[in-house]
Structures are given as C-alpha cells and as structure tokens.
Chains A and B, each alone.
Chain A
Amino acid sequence: DAGVTQSPTHLIKTRGQQVTLRCSPKSGHDTVSWYQQALGQGPQFIFQYYEEEERQRGNFPDRFSGHQFPNYSSELNVNALLLGDSALYLCASSLFQGFSPLHFGNGTRLTVT
C-alpha cells in the first residue's frame, strides 16, 4: 500500500524563479492538501484539491497555485519566488468526506537564495 510520495526531496532556486512540486496521494485517497512549514512552526495550510478543483485556500498569495489530475496526483506551483518562501512543503492526502486524518509525504525542502 503506497503512501504519499513527493518529489523532489530537495530544491534550490533563486529569487524570481518559478518552482513546481509534485505529490501522489496514498492509495484510496481522493483529496490532496498542501502545507508550508517554516522552521520552528507548525504546518500552514496553503490549499486543498478534490475532484480536480481547488476547494479551500489558506492565507497565501496568488503566486501559489496548484492542480489536481484525474489520477488524484497534484502539483504545487510557486511563481516569483521570494526568500521567505524557503520552507518544507508538505503534501497530505485524505478522504474528502467526513473528518479524515491527513497522511503526509516526506516533504520537499525548498531553499530560495
């Protein structure tokens, strides 16, 4: 039973560049949520995708966008990178219905220089 997988594991970009992070959900899950975790902080909700649509969004600018594919996998895109975007980006999958716990991938550590 494959868990949540994310790629890449590490990424270094420079300010102003664009980045795409990828996530495959746990088998049987239909919902993907993305979180940003800065050092010493809890994960901050970016957005959630279900049925290929963005269903909910946290307090993040439009530079952060995403997509969900028919196979439930998802991408997170960040444009015009800022130094402050450096963080661990976590993808979590779950079931849309009910109060379902999140299952996290290993994360992508993004460093913006």
Chain B
Amino acid sequence: RKEVEQDPGPFNVPEGATVAFNCTYSNSASQSFFWYRQDCRKEPKLLMSVYSSGNEDGRFTAQLNRASQYISLLIRDSKLSDSATYLCVGPREGGGNKLTFGTGTQLKVEL
C-alpha cells in the first residue's frame, strides 16, 4: 500500500460548488500532513498544514481523521482560479523529516 493515496480525478465542478477531496495514508502514527496546490507545469505551493485539530483558511478547510486514516480538503464556493492539482503530503515511514507525496487530485472548475 502506498504511503499516501489520492483519487487522481479529474473532478469537474461548476463555479460556486463545494468540492471535497480525500487522501488516505498507511502510517497510523502520522499526525501531520500538508496540502499543496500545483498548477500545470509549475512547482507545488503550500496550501495549508493539517494537524489533529484541523485547519481552516477562508474557503478552504482541511481535516484529519485518524480513526479512518484519511485527511480531507474541502473547497467552498469554487472559483475558476481553483483549477489545479491538489497534492496530499505526509511523513514517510521510517520517521525523520522526510515527506511523501500523493499523485495528486486534479480539479477543474467550469463556468
């Protein structure tokens, strides 16, 4: 099983919709994750951190469900500019400050 797994999508949603992505992880000891956003042919950029208490930043909410070993990213009132690939990032097994990336979930927000 991969350390972090994501549905690659694409998720096609109309502007203004609410969309949610999940990311499952294999290391039950993991407590911290990140969501990154990557635009086509650009570098990933940090969107938000995810800890046990969750995190909210404007239209974006991230939560960690340790019992079911997944993290989620909720985007409310989707904008055209939200179209991108969203990467789930967690700690690699074996410890240390080493991160592993999911393959990414592609979001397309349409008029």
- B-contacting residues of A (Cβ < 8 Å)? 31, 33, 35, 40-45, 48, 55-56, 88, 90, 94-107, 109
Residues of B contacting A: mostly: loop
Chain A residues, CB < 8 A from B99: 33, 45, 102
Cβ of B43 within 8 Å of any chain A Cβ, yes or no, is yes
B52 within 8 A of A: no
**Residue of A with least CB distance to B100:** A45
Contacts of A101 in B (CB 8 A): 34, 46, 49
Residues of B within 8 A of A (CB): 32, 34, 41-46, 49, 87, 89, 91-92, 96-104
Residues of B within 8 A of A107 (CB): 42-43
Out of B32, B44, B45, B103, name the residue touching A99 (CB < 8 Å).
Answer: B32
B43 touching A105, Cβ below 8 Å: yes
For the complex of A and B, the 7 pairs showing the least CB-CB separation, nearest first, are: A42-B101, A104-B43, A42-B103, A43-B101, A99-B32, A56-B98, A101-B46
A42-B103, A99-B32, A101-B34 are known contacts. Are A56 and B46 too (CB-CB below 8 A)? no
- Give CA–CA (A105, B101) in the complex, Å: 16
Contact of B49 with A43 in the complex, beta carbons under 8 Å: no
